[in-house]
A and B are shown apart, each in its own frame.
Chain A
Amino acid sequence: MVRGKVDSVKVAGKNKKHKVLMYALSTCAWCKLTKQFLKDNSIEYEYVDVDMCSEKDRERVRQDVLERGGDLNYPTIIIDDKVLITGFRKDKIREALKV
């Protein structure tokens, strides 16, 4: 098993109420919309562009997503280590973040 933390990029925001982690692809237009949505709502979040990762980190992401019961689809948003949302589903993200 490949263990350890994957390097992520932190995006600062005024709303720090939730821990938001997003697995994304640098080329994906839906991921870009999701990043913009979080930014527009001043949500502090971290993201990982999985296509830019090393093979080890890719494997870490794969294990993390599958262990949390998610699918290997992007974007995958994990809120407070509890809620996993696959895809840019605005309503679900709003509900989980209460924005």
Chain B
Amino acid sequence: MITLEKVRQRAESDAKTNGCYLNPDQDFLKDLFKGLKRNEERYGYPSCPCRLASGRFELDRDILCPCDYRDPDVAEYGCCYCALYVRKDVFEGKTAIQPIPERRPAEKQERAYGIGLESPLEKTPETAAVVAKESSQIERKMWYCKQCGYVCFREDPPYICPICKAKREMFARLEV
């Protein structure tokens, strides 16, 4: 069983490791932790509380907290999409928190819809295309960071290299 305390510790430790901070508004933060706990209980993994999850791990892989979009969002806007993680100046109250635009591509957002619909008649062509893309069909590739050599196996390269902080442009396909 996952506890709120465990969720908090995980976030605190991740913020420390990655040079960001947790939202200083304790009530707001607690609501986000509750959302993460709830998602972990119902899906088996802590997907973003502010985004609709499909409930299928591979389809939600990019929105597991901390999501793929956190680092570029904290750098550009001062907070992640949920505003769970914030930048130093925001933590110190020098910059106000505002809702930020969604960086997750629309085609990935669509993955949370229409998965369980059985009759093809109920599906629009767009939904049908999304549903056809079941978890197993998400194509993962090898990517490497040209700057530090970090290698990962996933759908897209990270926005920021977790090791050397190089930008996405520094990633290239690794053919094996």
A: which residues have CB within 8 A of B? Answer: 1-2, 25-33, 50-51, 55-56, 58-59, 61-63, 71-74, 87-89
Bound together, the chains give a CA A91 to CA B82 distance in angstroms of 19
Interface of B toward A, CB cutoff 8 Å? 28, 31-32, 34-36, 38-39, 49-53, 82-83, 99, 102, 106, 109-110, 112-117, 122-124, 127
Given contacts A63-B124, A89-B99, contact A58 B114 (CB under 8 A): yes
Q: Roughly how many angstroms separate A26 CA and B49 CA in the complex, as a whole number?
A: 8
Chain B residues with Cβ below 8 Å from A2 are 117, 122
Query: Out of A29, A71, A72, A89, which one reaches B50, CB within 8 Å?
Result: A29
Which A residues are in CB contact (< 8 Å) with B34?
Answer: 27
**B114 and A59: CB pair below 8 A?**
yes
Distance between Cα atoms of A27 and B124 in the complex (Å): 28
Which residue, of B34, B99, B116, has the highest number of chain A Cβ atoms within 10 A? B99
Assuming the contacts A59-B122, A88-B99, asked whether A29 and B114 have C-beta atoms less than 8 A apart, the reply is: no
Q: Output the least CB separation between B55 and chain A (Å).
A: 9
Are B99 and A87 neighbours in the complex by a CB distance under 8 Å? yes
Tell me the bound Cα distance from A28 to B53 in angstroms: 12
State which of A32, A62, A87 has its C-beta within 8 Å of the C-beta of B114.
Answer: A62
Whether the Cβ atoms of A55 and B116 lie closer than 8 Å is: yes
Interface contact A28-B106, CB-CB below 8 Å? no
